[in-house]
């Protein structure tokens, strides 16, 4: 029987496991409580911050018995910031956690019992993110605190590329000296030419005055977007991965960890065992990264993407890389794939976190390719989607890739073969 627990009361308890987002799990008076930044085996004192019908959330007050897997975070903002959630655990344990997270999702949600490979580690655990979105409130800039809309003012972010942090300092100086109604500032880094794109959203058009300050004080600044309009530069930066060059604009999806992206794409290609005569369909193709990387290995690739800016970038990227066996279609995947006349041998799908549209899955099954390569950043929706395909396909291989070190998030590549 569940006893009573009270908001703001402090309780002693023991953490038994980690939940999907990396928070510790315990029971207090019979109720499940999630406590961020705690580890299995730890005895802790917890203050209850939120109470629902079947569970509660708590905040770590004191560690009474520490796990031998615990490490001291190098980030001074870690305790309050919501950007990372696994800096307090060793890298090797984080990799194990991510592998188990995928394994559990496949078994529990997808009812799929398959061997999951060890998680491929990242070359860098910090300074890997090439895109960071900062919240702004008057003269403060940073991230929301964990589970709140309270802004945590930060000087730098350990996850971000160093040039992004340099730009953050310049922006901070401007915000201190000028009243503004800026709400978000997104900074993207392009590794090809060591350059930056800054995308600003403000409630007041006069805040465009920040432009002169940025162009004067940020040497590597390539382009600035203000309230959706390009106000400086070309509107894009350049990224290099797998030996190809890509133009990336503000709205285009591109992997945030470029060294791991290479590993991810190489893994997908190797897993698919592509043939020179294959026709490949790449769904949710973004700026056409996977489409272009796959193109030398096959006869033809068709990419579908709903974001128009991304498709424009993708088509430009074909010219940049002198690729002539790729076609891009702009539109909703569920609607556009039904119009394709080519016989598709392999489908590669890298959907957003919400997964694949049920209509799109139905049409994928109708197309009946011999292989499907499913790339996902969300094990829950991935497991769900794969369960819809297992009547026709066998899940043959699952490889996690640590695209987001020091966080609970993980990328994954799965191979499905048509049942014989």
Query: How many Å apart are CA 61 and CA 38, to the nearest integer?
Result: 10
Q: At residue 1, does pLDDT exceed 50? A: no
At residue 2, the pLDDT reads 56
Domain boundaries, the chain: 10-65, 93-124+257-418, 131-237
Q: What CA–CA distances, in Å, run from 21 to 35, 168, 213? A: 11, 28, 39
Class of domain 131-237 as given by CATH: mainly beta
10-65 with 93-124+257-418: one CATH topology?
no
Give tens-digit pLDDT for 139-170. Answer: 999 999 877 889 999 999 999 999 999 999 99
Please tell me whether the overall predicted TM-score, pTM, comes out greater than 0.75 for this model: yes
Give tens-digit pLDDT for 364-382. Answer: 999 999 999 999 999 999 9
At residue 3, the pLDDT reads 61
At residue 148, the pLDDT reads 82
285 is catalytic: no
Contact of 19 with 81, CB cutoff 8 Å: no
| CATH 1.10.10.10 corresponds to the domain 10-65 | no
Give tens-digit pLDDT for 233-284. Answer: 999 999 999 999 998 888 888 899 999 999 999 999 999 999 999 999 999 9
β-strand 131-137 against 195-202: which pairing, if any?
Answer: unpaired
CATH of domain 93-124+257-418: 3.40.50.150
Is residue 279 helix, strand or coil?
strand
Give tens-digit pLDDT for 195-248. Answer: 999 999 999 999 999 999 999 999 999 999 999 999 999 999 999 999 999 988
* R_g of the chain, CA atoms, integer Å: 23
Give tens-digit pLDDT for 43-100. Answer: 999 999 999 989 999 999 999 999 999 999 999 999 888 789 999 999 999 999 999 9
At residue 394, the pLDDT reads 97
Q: At residue 298, does pLDDT exceed 50? A: yes
* Mean of per-residue pLDDT scores for the chain: 94
| Identified catalytic residue from 81, 377, 412, 414 | 377
At residue 341, the pLDDT reads 87
Give helix 210-217 / helix 162-177 axis angle, nearest 10°: 140
At residue 420, the pLDDT reads 84
Give tens-digit pLDDT for 309-357. Answer: 889 889 999 999 999 999 999 998 888 888 888 999 999 999 999 999 8
Contact of 263 with 401, CB cutoff 8 Å: yes
Residue 254 contacts by C-beta under 8 Å, 6 or more apart in sequence? 130, 131, 239, 246, 248, 286, 287, 289
């Amino acid at each position: 029987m569940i006893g009573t627990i009270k908001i703001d009361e402090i309780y002693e308890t023991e953490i038994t496991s980690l939940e999907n987002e990396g928070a510790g799990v315990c029971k207090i008076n019979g109720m499940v409580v999630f406590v961020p930044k705690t580890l299995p085996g730890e005895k802790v004192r917890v203050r209850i911050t939120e109470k629902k019908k079947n569970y509660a959330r708590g905040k770590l007050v004191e560690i009474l018995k520490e796990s031998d897997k615990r490490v001291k975070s190098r980030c001074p903002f870690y305790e309050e910031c919501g950007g990372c959630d696994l800096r307090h655990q060793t890298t090797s344990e984080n990799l194990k956690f991510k592998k188990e997270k995928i394994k559990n999702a496949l078994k529990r949600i997808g009812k799929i019992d398959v061997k999951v490979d060890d998680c491929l580690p990242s070359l860098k655990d910090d300074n890997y993110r090439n895109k960071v979105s900062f919240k702004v409130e008057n003269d403060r800039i940073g991230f929301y605190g964990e589970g709140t809309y309270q802004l945590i003012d930060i000087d730098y972010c350990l996850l971000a590329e160093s040039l992004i942090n340099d730009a953050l300092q310049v922006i901070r100086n401007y915000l201190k000296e000028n009243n503004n109604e800026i709400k978000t500032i997104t900074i993207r880094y392009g590794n090809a030419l060591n350059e930056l794109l800054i995308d600003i959203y403000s409630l007041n058009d006069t805040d465009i005055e920040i432009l002169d300050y940025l162009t004067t004080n940020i040497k590597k600044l390539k382009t600035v977007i203000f309230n959706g309009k390009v106000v400086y530069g070309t509107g894009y930066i350049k990224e290099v991965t797998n030996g190809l060059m890509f133009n990336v604009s503000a709205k285009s999806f591109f992997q945030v960890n470029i060294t791991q992206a290479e590993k991810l794409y190489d893994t997908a290609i190797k897993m698919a065992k592509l043939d020179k005569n294959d026709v490949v369909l790449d769904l949710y193709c973004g700026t056409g990264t996977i489409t272009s990387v796959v193109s030398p290995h096959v006869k033809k690739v068709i990419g579908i993407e709903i974001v128009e800016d991304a498709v424009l970038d993708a088509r430009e990227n074909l010219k940049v890389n002198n690729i002539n066996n790729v076609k891009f279609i702009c539109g909703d995947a569920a609607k556009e794939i039904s119009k394709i006349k080519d016989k598709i041998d392999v489908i590669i799908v890298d959907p957003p976190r919400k997964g694949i549209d049920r209509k799109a899955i139905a049409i994928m099954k109708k197309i009946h390719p011999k292989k499907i390569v499913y790339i996902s950043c969300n094990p829950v929706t991935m497991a769900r989607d794969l369960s819809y395909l297992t009547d026709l396909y066998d899940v043959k291989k699952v490889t996690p890739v640590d695209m987001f070190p020091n966080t609970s998030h993980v990328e994954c590549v799965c191979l499905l073969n048509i049942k014989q």
